[in-house]
Amino acid sequence: MTTITPDIQKLMLIFIRTLSIMWLVPLFSSRTVSGIFKAGLSLLIAFLLFDSVETGPLPDNDPVSFLLLIIKEVFTGVTIGFFVRVLFLAVNVAGGIISLQSGFSFARFMDPFSTSQMSIMEEVTNLMAMIIFFAVDAHHVLIKGLAVSLKELPVGAAALNPSLLQYLINTTGKIFATGLRIGAPVITALFLVDLSLGILSRMIPQVNIFIEGVSMKILITAIIFSFSLAVIVPGIVNLFRGLDAEFLKIIRTMA
């Protein structure tokens, strides 16, 4: 019976953690990106990080212990990848609220990345978040965070702590508030437009102002969104620039 050497076990565990992260990061998680590419990229990153990673004693010809290590590495990678996905969800929430207020939510189409139905503003904010993610080198921060996680949290050292669950709950709970903060200029402008239309409907009850104002709200949304990019883009940039500090928090809560 052939046995797996410790070096191969080490490479496999690093590869599994890397692949678990890549599987949840937007763009890489898209169905348009083949599984072979994801696996190949994860294997390349694992190979490059191999020499810099220290591991404890690995199980010698014990498939049960090795399976437990694989489950721990999947859990670690999914936790880190989930946090990155939450940041994109916050931007997506901003687009969803704007679409709901402006009337863009009536027209939905199939998003080729997530293969789900999205409105125009949701797709615009989602693509903007992806562009900014790579423009500010957040993908480099993600790889550095992976390297730090392998040093701070060696292979097989992850644990399900109450502090980790509390951190994930708090982070998830901030999605809506972060989305409101990112889309605040457009959301506030559309609220004032709705307020004005409400006043007009009381002054001229013979005219259905809200139906007539849909096209006007769409035009105002496009204009305000264009002028608000100077505020929206820095908000998304600040969201991604805090990745390294958040990675350390997540890693330390799992230690």
Secondary element (H or E) of residue 74 = helix 63-102
Secondary element (H or E) of residue 191 = helix 184-203
What's the chain's average pLDDT? 81
Give the span between the Cα atoms of 89 and 93, in whole angstroms.
6
| Residue pLDDT, tens place only, 214-232 | 778 888 888 888 888 888 8
| Residue pLDDT, tens place only, 43-60 | 888 888 887 777 766 666
- What residues of the chain score a pLDDT lower than 70? 1-3, 56-61, 109, 111-115, 156-159, 210, 255
Q: What's residue 60's pLDDT?
A: 67
Which two tokens mark 220? 């105002």
Q: What's residue 159's pLDDT?
A: 67
Q: What's residue 183's pLDDT?
A: 87
Give the span between the Cα atoms of 55 and 223, in whole angstroms.
55
